[in-house]
Amino acid sequence: MFVVEHPFASDFFFRSLEKLQARVLRGAAVEEFNVANRNLNLVSEKEFVEYYRKIPEPLYCNSENGLSRVASLLPDAPFVRFAELFKNKAKFRQAVAPLYPNFAFREVDLAELQTLRYEDLPRRFVVKPSVGFLSVGVRFVESAEDWERVRAEILRESAAFADGKSADFPREVVDLTRYLIEETVDGEELAVDAYFAVDGTPVVLDVLRHPFASSTDVRDRIYTTSKKFVRRLLPTLETTLAQIGATVANALDTPFDVAFPFHAEFRVAADGSLVPIEVNPGRFAGWHTTELAFYAYGVDVYETLTRGLRPDWNRILADAETDDVVSYFAIFETPPALAGAAANADAAFDYDALAREFSTLFELRRIDWRRRPLAAIAFAQTSEPQELERVLALDVERFVQR
Instruction: Write the pLDDT tens digit of every residue in 81-132.
Output: 999 999 988 999 999 999 999 999 999 888 888 888 889 888 888 888 876 5
Using omega within 30 degrees of 0 as the cis cutoff, is the peptide bond preceding 7 cis? yes
**Cα–Cα distance for residue pair 221/229, rounded to 1 Å:** 19
Predicted confidence at residue 139, as pLDDT, reads 83
What are the two backbone dihedrals, phi and then psi, of residue 240, each rounded to the nearest 5 degrees? -65, -45
Residue 92 parent element (H or E): helix 89-95
The model's pLDDT over 31-55, given as tens digits with 9 standing for 90+, comes to: 888 777 899 999 999 999 999 999 8
Give the type of residue at 367.
Answer: I
Predicted confidence at residue 150, as pLDDT, reads 87
CATH of domain 87-183: 3.30.1490.20
What is the pTM for the complete model shown? 0.89
Per-residue pLDDT tens listing for the chain (402 residues): 999 999 899 999 999 999 999 999 999 999 888 777 899 999 999 999 999 999 889 999 999 889 999 999 999 999 999 999 999 889 999 999 999 999 999 998 888 888 888 898 888 888 888 765 545 667 888 899 998 998 888 878 777 666 554 555 555 455 667 889 999 888 999 999 999 999 999 999 999 999 987 766 667 899 999 999 999 999 999 999 999 999 999 999 999 999 999 999 999 999 999 999 999 999 999 999 999 999 999 999 999 999 999 999 999 999 888 899 999 999 999 888 776 655 566 788 999 999 999 999 999 999 988 888 899 999 999 999 999 999 999 999 999 887
Query: What's the maximum distance between 2 C-alpha atoms anywhere in the chain?
Result: 60
Residue 47 parent element (H or E): helix 45-54
- Integer distance in angstroms from the first to the last C-alpha of the chain? 44
Predicted confidence at residue 305, as pLDDT, reads 98
Predicted confidence at residue 159, as pLDDT, reads 73
**Cα–Cα distance for residue pair 323/195, rounded to 1 Å:** 25
Provide the angle, in degrees to the nearest 10, between the axes of the packed helices 78-87 and 227-252.
Answer: 110
Q: Are strands 60-61 and 125-131 parallel, antiparallel or unpaired?
A: unpaired
How far from 279 is each of 65, 201, 256, 261, 307, CA to CA, in Å?
16, 16, 16, 10, 23
Q: What is the CA radius of gyration of the chain?
A: 21
**Cα–Cα distance for residue pair 177/156, rounded to 1 Å:** 12
How far from 356 is each of 266, 332, 337, 361, 390, CA to CA, in Å?
32, 14, 22, 9, 12
**Other CB atoms within 10 A of residue 125 CB:** 22
How far from 176 is each of 45, 117, 285, 339, CA to CA, in Å?
31, 20, 22, 21
Predicted confidence at residue 361, as pLDDT, reads 98
User: Whole-number mean pLDDT of the chain?
Assistant: 90
What are the two backbone dihedrals, phi and then psi, of residue 298, each rounded to the nearest 5 degrees? 75, 20
Give me the DSSP letters along 246-262.
HHHHHHHT---SS-EEE
User: Are 248 and 187 a contacting pair, CB within 8 Å?
Assistant: no
Q: Which of 127, 135, 123, 122 is nearest to 107 (CA)?
A: 127
Burial 372-389 (b: 16+ CB within 10 A, else e): ebbbbbbbbbbeeeebbe
Q: Which of 90, 71, 93, 60 is nearest to 244 (CA)?
A: 93
The model's pLDDT over 212-226, given as tens digits with 9 standing for 90+, comes to: 877 666 678 999 999
